[in-house]
Amino acid sequence: MNIVGTELPKSRQAEQVILGSMLLDPKHVIPALVERQVTDKFFYWRHHRVIFQTAMRMFEEGVDSDLVLVTEKLRKENKLQACEGSAYLNSLIGMVTTIASVGHYVDLVSDAYQNRRVIEACNEVREQAFQQKSPSEVLGLGQLRLNQIQDGLDIGDAVLSLGDNQASFDQYLKRLREGEAGIRTDIPEMDQLIHFLRLPSYNFFFGRMKSGKTTLALNIALNQALRNTPVFFVSLEMTTDELQERLVRMRGGFSKNSLKDEANIHRVSTVAQEINDLPLYRYESSDDLGSILAATQKAVTSYGCKLVCIENLDLISVGQDFAKDHERMAHISRRLKTFSMRMAREGYPFALILLGQANREARATRDGFPLKSHVAGTDQVGRDVDLMISLSDPELVQDDHPDQIGVRVAAQRHDVESYQPVWVNYNKMTYKVGGPKPVFS
């Protein structure tokens, strides 16, 4: 959609000079254009794009791409008339005064192309605003689109063949073989079972109150930050001071009482400084889903965060009313899934960990592990997520091993009721998070 009474930025003469220079001296001009990363999308007129594509393809194939040969190539491919004929190609040569000036015309064409992309992005944001989307979400989309333009990413490549993606897939397989295709928890028992959290992926951790959901997520977050992987933590339950306290206790092995002991002041300060120096980012805003997504987008695009933890599903608000709570949670889950996949398509994959609370019915399970049916909205969550992790009820486990927590992991994405119990050992954990095995066996 364009603004009525205005024209998109373009320069016909500049495009003609560039094409004429290519046909006049391809051996010198085309490498210079490649170095400037000029593509056919820089050209506004379609027939100019066709001429550019043909000359570039011939050059890449090692074939001479001067005026005569490009004209003949276009004739054989039945494209010459669409390019206004051989007379028009001859006229392009006449537009060139000196090859040395081609860089100036590239600047003109590049500026016009980038401004067209800015207009396209603004129109997209404008349409989202007219649809009455959350202002924070609309602004987040605008920031992402403008960042893409600044970073040189093109948003027009929406339809691609799988063959075009082969090089990327080969790199993905290489990362997969080398164990770099996802986020490792660095908790040996968990990594042995799930290998890693994929990039991108949507992972759901759930259990009853005090079952260790946040502890598990914080452990994974801290382990990744220690690997120098940027992490974004959204907590709607803890203040920043409380979050830092838990991380310091986790890293330093402090109990709550030893944290206050004057004899430990220096060691606590040292650990706190270590935590502060890590690439850990904290969310400070409202519980509105749009605000959370906008902040997550900034964390992922501006700070390179590869792991995002959100605590928790039950406390996230949305800008509309739902008759039932499970409908609200299903809506949130769908939004998180589509947001995650959109970011991945834009070149910013990340692993998302969402925490959720099981209801009271979870206590009825014999081994203390809640099922997906014990969380509101998880019919939709179960369809959305790549991995579900259920945490044991601490009331039903032994209390003699304070450094362990019970978790069980969905065997596969859509078989979310099939779990394998795992008792995970945490390093340097001194406060109660579960037990080594269920009381009932």
Residue 227 sits at φ, ψ, to 5 deg, of: -85, 5
pLDDT of residue 72: 94
On whether both 117 and 197 belong to a single domain, the answer is no
**Integer Cα distance of 206 and 392 in angstroms:** 9
Q: Is 148 part of a structural domain of the chain?
A: no
On whether both 230 and 286 belong to a single domain, the answer is yes
- Look over the chain and give the mean of its residue pLDDT values, rounded to a whole number: 77
Mean pLDDT on 316-334: 77
On whether both 74 and 187 belong to a single domain, the answer is no
Q: Is 133 part of a structural domain of the chain?
A: no
Q: How many Cα atoms within 13 Å fall on the side-chain side of residue 322? A: 13
Give the number of domains in the chain.
2
Mean pLDDT on 408-415: 42
pLDDT over threshold 80, residue 33: yes
On whether both 318 and 206 belong to a single domain, the answer is yes
In tens, the pLDDT along 272-291 reads: 999 999 999 998 777 888 88
In tens, the pLDDT along 62-95 reads: 888 899 999 999 999 999 999 999 999 999 999 9
On whether both 192 and 315 belong to a single domain, the answer is yes
> Of residues 353 and 135, which shows the higher confidence score?
353
Beta bridge partners of 406: 423
CATH number for position 120: 1.10.860.10
Q: Is 139 part of a structural domain of the chain?
A: no
**Domain that includes residue 61, residue range:** 12-127
pLDDT of residue 174: 66
Q: Is 335 part of a structural domain of the chain?
A: yes
In tens, the pLDDT along 385-403 reads: 888 777 765 544 444 444 4
Q: Is 166 part of a structural domain of the chain?
A: no
On whether both 205 and 326 belong to a single domain, the answer is yes
pLDDT of residue 23: 94
On whether both 88 and 231 belong to a single domain, the answer is no
Domain boundary among 127, 160, 189: 127
On whether both 239 and 377 belong to a single domain, the answer is yes
Burial of 238 per CB tally in 10 Å (0-12, 13-18, 19+): middle
Q: Is 146 part of a structural domain of the chain?
A: no
On whether both 204 and 114 belong to a single domain, the answer is no
Q: Is 1 part of a structural domain of the chain?
A: no
In tens, the pLDDT along 207-245 reads: 777 777 888 888 889 989 999 999 999 998 888 888 898
On whether both 299 and 373 belong to a single domain, the answer is yes
Predicted structure pTM score: 0.59
pLDDT over threshold 60, residue 146: yes
Long-range Cβ contacts of 259-266 (<8 Å, 24+ apart): none
On whether both 118 and 179 belong to a single domain, the answer is no
On whether both 184 and 40 belong to a single domain, the answer is no
Domain boundary among 87, 103, 127: 127
pLDDT of residue 73: 93
- Under DSSP, the state recorded for 426 is P
pLDDT over threshold 90, residue 100: no
Q: Is 49 part of a structural domain of the chain?
A: yes
For the chain, helix, strand, coil in percent to 5 are 55, 15, 30
**Integer Cα distance of 294 and 296 in angstroms:** 5
